[in-house]
Amino acid sequence: MEIKKELKILAGIVVVFLGVFFMPLESPTFNTAMDATLDLSRWYAREHVILCLLPAFLIAGVISVFVSQASVIKYFGAKAKRWVAYTVAALSGTILAVCSCTILPLFSSIHKRGAGLGPAIAFLYSGPAINILAIILTARILGFEMGLARTVGAVLFSILTGLIMAFIYRKEEKAKAEQQMNFPDVPEARPLWQTALHFFSLVLILVFANWGKPAAGDTSSLWFYLWAYKWHITGLFGLLLVFSMIYILKLKSWQVLLGAGITAASALLIANPLVSVVVGIAAVSSIALMDKTENSENKEWIYSSWGFAKQIVPLLAIGVVIAGFLLGSTHDNTSIAGVIPNRWVTWLVGGNSLLSNLYSSIIGAFMYFATLTEVPIIQGLLASGMGKGPALALLLAGPSLSLPNMLVIRGVLGTQKTVVYASIVIVLSTIAGMVYGSIA
């Protein structure tokens, strides 16, 4: 029997026991924080896991299985021109309307396929930070100047962060690049346009399923009409996915059409989009797993997606619970304080000092923001006295980072690189906030 191992188990049991024994149930602050934890966890499960993460896992599986390593290296690796790699990575957020957690399986996938650290980090930051929907909403609600500053800052920071990370770990990246230069150019199993069609059918389903509600009173803009008919549009891209599964993946047409019919029936009979999305994803997964082709890529697609889910979901769950307990639950019209009172946050981020911008960046880095929710939250903080500089710092650090996000990145890159990445984002956001606050 290993004494050290048994002592660790004993220590764990003692810590859990003492935590439960001394749980401060009489404290209003503790009980409110527990309410916030449960509320944020429930909201995350209802609004984010089904609509964001499940489609994202399928998209990550597509990258991992259908997109060859040679293709990833061509656009993001050593064989890519640097300006091409960083441009593609930095502008990816305009396509992917995702948050700091939804981007993780996609980042993990391209990193494993051989993307350079710099472009991969630029992609990781840009996915949630340059979200075109969030940029438009920022300009409409917080003002054109704030929207422009967020756009410029996010694009610039995604490239800068990637370049800094690549420079810091240049020896490691050089060795990786030398290996990649010796990789043979393996031809694609299918034409690139077919893989792209299958990939973007899933991406567009993800984008429109999560299309944000327009500002109050907006009943005539293009944004409003896209939101009003977003499930119809999502359904049309679902039909494109049906076409892709039959004619590109070569799955049995009767199985695909049956799955599509069951999904459509669930939408008509139950009238709950979340149920329909779950049914649709279950149908896609089941049909792909039933493929009898030898060495089936279709089966591997689902196995790969499941692998990302196993890796990421537990860490995200832990992160959401911790974030809810410490920082509270703020979404829609709900605001429940965590252990750290909201008034402390408002007090810390007033004015435009170095400390207020730094605090804002740190709070944004650890707090969890779902897609588009950062705008109304900052609107409320500005009304409570938050400075414009700290507001921009929060906009630049918040959507791209979160405690759940960092826990998963640590599993992909390791502790040191995760700390360095988070520190770079916090420092750059602080500087941007101070500059903007001094001229706004």
Query: Which residue in this structure is represented by tokens 């990939």?
Result: 199
The backbone region for 433, taken as left when phi is positive above 0, alpha when psi lies in -120 to 50, beta otherwise, is alpha
pLDDT of 429 > 90? The answer is yes
Return d(Cα 89, Cα 162) in angstroms, integer: 9
Return d(Cα 87, Cα 83) in angstroms, integer: 6
pLDDT of 101 > 80? The answer is no
What are the helix (H) ranges across 271-353? 273-289, 297-327, 342-348
Specify whether the CB–CB gap between 407 and 371 falls below 8 A: no
User: Strand 329-331 and strand 334-336: pairing?
Assistant: antiparallel
pLDDT of 183 > 60? The answer is no
Give the pLDDT mean for 335-347: 75
Pairwise pLDDT comparison (312 vs 249), residue with the higher score: 249
pLDDT of 209 > 80? The answer is yes
Bridge partners, 336 (sequence order):
329
Tokens of 177: 């690049």
3-state secondary structure of 242: helix
Return d(Cα 413, Cα 410) in angstroms, integer: 5
Percentage of the residues of the chain whose pLDDT score is greater than 90: 19
Tokens of 334: 């709900």
Question: In 10 A of CB 54, how many CB atoms?
Answer: 23
The distance from CA 197 to its chain's CA centroid, rounded to whole angstroms, is 22
Residues 6+ apart with CB under 8 A from 108: 60, 308, 311, 312, 408, 412
Residues 6+ apart with CB under 8 A from 53: 101, 102, 105, 309, 312, 313, 316
Tokens of 23: 């749980």
Q: What is the mean pLDDT of the chain?
A: 82
Helix or strand (DSSP H, E) at 336: strand 334-336
Residues 6+ apart with CB under 8 A from 226: 208, 211, 233
Q: Which of 44-58, 102-116, 353-367 has the highest mean pLDDT?
A: 353-367
Tokens of 252: 């049995």
Give the pLDDT mean for 12-22: 89
227-234 long-range Cβ contacts below 8 angstroms, 24+ apart: 231/267, 231/273, 233/208, 234/205, 234/208, 234/209
**pLDDT tens-digit readout, 227-240:** 889 999 999 999 99
Specify whether the CB–CB gap between 287 and 250 falls below 8 A: no
Pairwise pLDDT comparison (88 vs 11), residue with the higher score: 11
Question: In 10 A of CB 281, how many CB atoms?
Answer: 18
Q: Residue 97's pLDDT is what?
A: 58
- In eight-state DSSP terms, residue 188 is P
Residue 75 exposure: Cα atoms within 13 Å on the Cβ side: 16
Return d(Cα 199, Cα 239) in angstroms, integer: 14
Specify whether the CB–CB gap between 150 and 225 falls below 8 A: no
Q: Residue 6's pLDDT is what?
A: 84
How does residue 96 score in pLDDT terms, banded at 50, 70 and 90?
low
Q: Write phi, then psi, for 334 (nearest 5 degrees).
A: -105, 135
How does residue 72 score in pLDDT terms, banded at 50, 70 and 90?
low
Return d(Cα 132, Cα 155) in angstroms, integer: 11
Query: Which residue in this structure is represented by tokens 């706004």?
Result: 440
Torsion of CA 395, 368, 344, 31, to 10 degrees: 160
Return d(Cα 211, Cα 327) in angstroms, integer: 26
Return d(Cα 113, Cα 70) in angstroms, integer: 8
Q: Residue 188's pLDDT is what?
A: 60
pLDDT of 29 > 80? The answer is yes
